[in-house]
Amino acid sequence: SVGDTVVWRWDAPAFVRGLGYRVFSVSSPSGTDYDGIAFSSGDTQTAKGFFTYRFTSPGVYYYSSGYIDSGRQRTLQGVVTVLPLEEHTVELQLFVTGIKASMNMGNVNSSASGNLGCMQNASRFFTFTSCASPVVLQITPDHGTTHDIIRINGSGFSSSNYANEVKVGDHPCSIINSTSTEINCQLMPDSGAPVGIPLPVTVRVNNLGSAILSMPKEMNRRFVVLPVVDSIFPSVGSTTGYTRLYISGSGLSY
């Protein structure tokens, strides 16, 4: 279903030499070339490894290993069918030390949190609905320094900054402002985010859970932090050298 993660693992037999594996999406059941749309484990083949991908849109996804042998004779093909999440309602029950609590609630309609406009009834039933599911449609830019603002477009966000949580990898992205369809945030200079690595961007909305990143390309769900120099001191020094320069900025550690 939408939101599920698939893991591919491979381990070439020790007695067979020259085998290398990878996995990528293709446009047809027999395709052996990356379609450039969905997922890819990279261009390098390995004898042993794994790859994970989270499917965020319903559909049929064909995949291939490409040619796994030097003679270009053998490939591995497969398909993943992703079903849409179905809306459904369940009855809530509360038990205290084995005793079922009675339900004494009214039928007043109210709006769900997060500015989604979903209507809910104060009753013993709970509804799983796409109306209450945050979705990310675009993250821009896909790379930048701690001076750059990361803009996240989608739906189901909160207009209250404190109710949204954005992380780049494991590092918090400070919320500047937000609406129900856009979040702007910025990494702090001392965030410690590693440089040059495509870090996954995650969004969580208070009481609504993690947002689904609907972009099919894995790299469109990530952000690469770049180093930046803010100042250099002093600007002059002896012609014989040995002047110590102090360089400050962010992303300078290694």
CATH number at residue 172: 2.60.40.10
Quick one: 93 and 138 in the same domain? no
Segment 82-86 shows an average pLDDT of 88
Segment 229-240 shows an average pLDDT of 93
Quick one: 122 and 141 in the same domain? no
Lowest mean pLDDT among 68-72, 92-96, 122-126, 146-150: 122-126
- Return mean pLDDT, the chain: 89
| Predicted pLDDT at 106 | 63
Number of domains the chain is built from: 3
Residue 231 pairs in a beta bridge with 248
239 part of a folded domain: no
Among all chains, which residue has been given the structure tokens 């821009």? 140
59 part of a folded domain: yes
Segment 87-104 shows an average pLDDT of 89
Could you tell me the CA-to-CA distances from 142 to 25, 40, 221, 228 in Å, in that order?
22, 18, 8, 16
Enumerate residues 6+ apart whose C-beta is below 8 A from 84: 1, 2, 58
Lowest mean pLDDT among 25-34, 45-54, 133-142, 244-253: 244-253
| Environment class of 223 (CB within 10 Å of its CB; exposed 0-12, middle 13-18, buried 19+) | buried
Enumerate residues 6+ apart whose C-beta is below 8 A from 51: 7, 8, 22, 23, 39, 41
Domain containing 182 equals: 133-228
249 part of a folded domain: no
250 part of a folded domain: no
Contact 137, 153 (CB under 8 A): yes
Residue 67 pairs in a beta bridge with 75
Quick one: 65 and 29 in the same domain? yes
Segment 118-144 shows an average pLDDT of 84
- 161-194 pLDDT, tens digit per residue, is 999 999 999 999 999 999 999 999 999 998 889 9
Given a cut of 90, whether residue 26 has pLDDT beyond it is yes
238 part of a folded domain: no
Task: Report DSSP letters for 127-139, one per residue.
Answer: EE-GGG--EEEEE
